[in-house]
Amino acid sequence: MKITEAKLKKIIKEETEAIEMVDYHLENKIPFSRNIYRIGSDNYFRVIHEARKMYENKEINPQLIDLHTLKHTDLGEWAMFEGERVPLDFPMYDEVLEEESKKKDPPLNKPTKNTGSGKKYKVYVRDPKTGNVKKVTYGDAKGGLKGNWNDPEARKSFAARHKCDQKKDKTKSGYWACRAHKDFGKDVPGRFW
C-alpha cells in the first residue's frame, strides 16, 4: 500500500505532537498516570502510547509511578472488539466518558437563581472565543434587580440607564440583566427597549 505525501506529513505531524506531549510531562515532572488530558480523550491515549514507545526504545526514564503502566499494561493501545475500536486496559470506557460528558456541560443559556454567594442570578454560556463554558452571575443579591417590570416607566428607565439596546454579548452580565424580566418576571411583555 502506497502512502501519499499528505498522509506521510500527517503521520509525522501527529508523531511530533505526541513526542511534545510526552516531553511536557517529563519536563514538568507530571506522571503519565496523572495525564494532563481529559481521561478517555484521544490525547490521553496518545501520551501513554508514545511514552511506552519511547520507554521501550530507552529514550526516556519515566517516574517510578509510571513503570507499571508502561511495562505491564496495554493502556494507550487499541483493538477491534465486535466491530468497534476499543482501548485496551481502560476499564469502563463508555461509563467514564459518559460521566465526563455529564459533568462537562451544564444547561446553557438557562438563567436560574444563584444558590452560591455573590449575585442573585446565574447562567451558563459558551464563550464563542474559547469554546469553553462560562458562568455569568448578575443581579444584586441584597435586593436589587427585583425589577418593577410591570411598570412601563420603570422598565423604560431601567433600559435607558443600562443601555439595554446595546447589550449583545451573552458572556456579559449586562446582557442577562436586561433580559431578567423575561426569565423571572410574572406576565411581563417582551422587550421594552
pLDDT digits (tens, 9 = 90+) for 27-60: 888 888 788 888 888 888 888 888 888 889 888 8
Does residue 78 share a domain with residue 35?
Answer: yes
Q: Of 65, 83, 103, which residue is a domain's last?
A: 103
Question: Do residues 82 and 137 both lie within one domain?
Answer: no
Question: In the 3-class helix/strand/coil scheme, how is the chain assigned residue by residue?
Answer: CCCCHHHHHHHHHHHHHHHHHHHHHHHCCCCHHHCCCCCCCHHHHHHHHHHHHHHHCCCCCCCHHHHHHHHHCCCCCEEEECCEEEECCCCCHHHHHHHHHHHHCCCECCCEECCCCCCCEEEEEECCCCCCEEEEEECCCCCCCCCCCCCHHHHHHHHHHHCHHHCCCCCCHHHHHHCHHHHHCCCCCCCCC
Supply φ then ψ for residue 25, to 5 degrees. -60, -45
Mean pLDDT of 95-117: 71
- pLDDT bin (cut points 50, 70, 90) of residue 102 is low
192 occurs within a structural domain: no
Domain-located, residue 189: no
Please indicate, yes or no, if residue 140 is contained in any of the structural domains. yes
Shared domain check, 116 and 92: no
In the numeric block, the cell 530507552 is attached to 58
Domain boundary among 103, 132, 156: 103
What is residue 10's predicted lDDT score, i.e. its pLDDT? 75
pLDDT at 115: 79
Let me know whether 78 and 20 are in one domain: yes
Same structural domain, 91 and 119? no
Which amino acid, 108? Answer: L
Tell me the mean pLDDT in the region 120-131: 88
- Are residues 58 and 142 part of one domain? no
Same domain for 66 and 125? no
Per residue in 2-28, pLDDT (tens digit) is: 778 887 777 788 888 888 888 888 888
Between 119 and 188, the higher pLDDT residue: 119
The verdict on residue 78 lying in a domain is yes
Q: Looking at the 3D structure of the chain, how many domains does it have? A: 2
- pTM of the complete model: 0.45
Judgement on whether residues 96 and 170 belong to the same structural domain of the protein = no
Q: Specify whether 96 is located in the same domain as 10.
A: yes
112-113 sheet: strands from edge to edge: 112-113, 121-126, 133-138
Cβ contacts of 4 within 8 Å, gap of 6 or more: none
The verdict on residue 191 lying in a domain is no
Q: Does 32 share its domain with 75? A: yes
CA–CA distance, 70 with 55 (Å, rounded to integer): 8
- In which domain, by residue range, is 156 found? 112-184
Structure confidence at residue 106 as a pLDDT band (50, 70, 90):
confident
Same domain for 87 and 14: yes
Together in a domain, 89 and 130: no
Side-chain-facing half-sphere of 25: CA atoms under 13 Å? 25
Q: What grid cell was written down for 75?
A: 493502556
- Round to whole Å and give the CA distance between 160 and 192: 10
* pLDDT average, residue stretch 168-173: 91
Q: Which of 48, 73, 103 is the last residue in one of the domains?
A: 103
Mean pLDDT rounded to a whole number for the chain: 80
